[in-house]
Amino acid sequence: MEEIVVYVHGKGGSAQEAEHYKALFPNCEVIGFDYHAQSPWEATEEFSGFFTAVRKRCGKLTLVANSIGAFLSLSSLNEKLVDTAYFISPVVDMEQLICNMMQWADVSEAELAEKLEIPTTFGETLSWKYLCYVREHPVSWKIPTRILYGEKDALTSMETIKAFAEKNNAELTVMPGGEHWFHTKDQMQFLDNWIKNRRPCNETENKDGFASPAYSSGNRAGSLPCLRQGSAVRIRPDRKASV
């Protein structure tokens, strides 16, 4: 197979979600990764093994990762395994997210260090081991990456996602009014066209008249001649924001 696309779901998702992406990546084999890792140290072994096996079967491997699935990918994969990445509402700074959740739960760092794990009322368990791990293992990412971010994402701030995009020379597209979880009809149409208009024109043409929310930043991901600018906020590595 010339190109294989691997979809990595977020929390509460499943590998079956990969079915949605088959129409968006024609002429590619699309696989849903049914992983079990719940931490970056678990993902290091599981993700590496799975992607190494898939890599042997294709000339190009494209990653599509959602939310925490993107963070686990960031923590465990490298440019030898993945050629291009599409991140949807990615968690890119886990230390910041954990610290935010500690504030929401009114838990101090000293308290977490003493108790090691503290359940919260919003369904997450704060972990001292997790916090220490992400501090000791900063993300190093060299893969050409495109990011879709919802303006109203409650887990990752605009400042955080912009900083990640600039540091890693990633292309960032922001959906005005979008949420962390892309699930409504409008949100899914936006997501679909974000991917469609980043594929080469001879693979997928946007024939529905929808003005593309995408842009080409001229970074390592390359120029894509079928892009058309629309109403999304477009943030480039060397600029602030434009509409």
What per-residue confidence (pLDDT) applies to 232? 54
Q: Does residue 218 form part of some domain?
A: no
| 163 or 220, which is more confident | 163
Per-residue three-class SS string for the chain: CCEEEEEECCCCCCHHHHHHHCCCCCCCEEEECCCCCCCHHHHHHHHHHHHHHHHCCCCEEEEEEECHHHHHHHHHCCCCCCCEEEEECCCCCHHHHHHHHHHHCCCCHHHHHHHCEEECCCCCEEEHHHHHHHHHCCCCCCCCEEEEEECCCCCCCHHHHHHHHHHCCCEEEEECCCCCCCCCHHHHHHHHHHHHCCCCCCCCCCCCCCCCCCCCCCCCCCCCCCCCCCCCEEECCCCCCEC
Residue that is last in its domain, among 103, 138, 173: 138
58, 102: one domain: no
* Band (198; pLDDT cuts 50, 70, 90): confident
88, 105: one domain: no
Report yes or no: 84 and 144 within 8 Å, Cβ to Cβ.
yes
Q: Does residue 52 form part of some domain?
A: yes
66, 179: one domain: yes
pTM score above 0.85: no
What per-residue confidence (pLDDT) applies to 200? 56
128, 155: one domain: no
Report yes or no: 213 and 194 within 8 Å, Cβ to Cβ.
yes
78, 149: one domain: yes
71, 129: one domain: no
20, 128: one domain: no
130, 61: one domain: no
48, 132: one domain: no
Q: Supply φ then ψ for residue 19, to 5 degrees.
A: -55, -35
Domain carrying residue 99: 94-138
Q: Does residue 18 form part of some domain?
A: yes
- Number of structural domains (the chain) is 2
29, 117: one domain: no
Q: Does residue 164 form part of some domain?
A: yes
CATH number at residue 60: 3.40.50.1820
Q: Does residue 110 form part of some domain?
A: yes
42, 132: one domain: no
Q: Which stretch of 148-152, 207-211, 231-235 has the lowest confidence by average pLDDT?
A: 207-211
Q: Does residue 172 form part of some domain?
A: yes
pLDDT in tens, 111-142: 999 999 999 999 999 999 999 999 999 999 99
12, 123: one domain: no
Q: Does residue 222 form part of some domain?
A: no
Q: Does residue 240 form part of some domain?
A: no
Q: What is the mean pLDDT of residues 52-72?
A: 98
Residue 204 predicted with pLDDT over 60: no
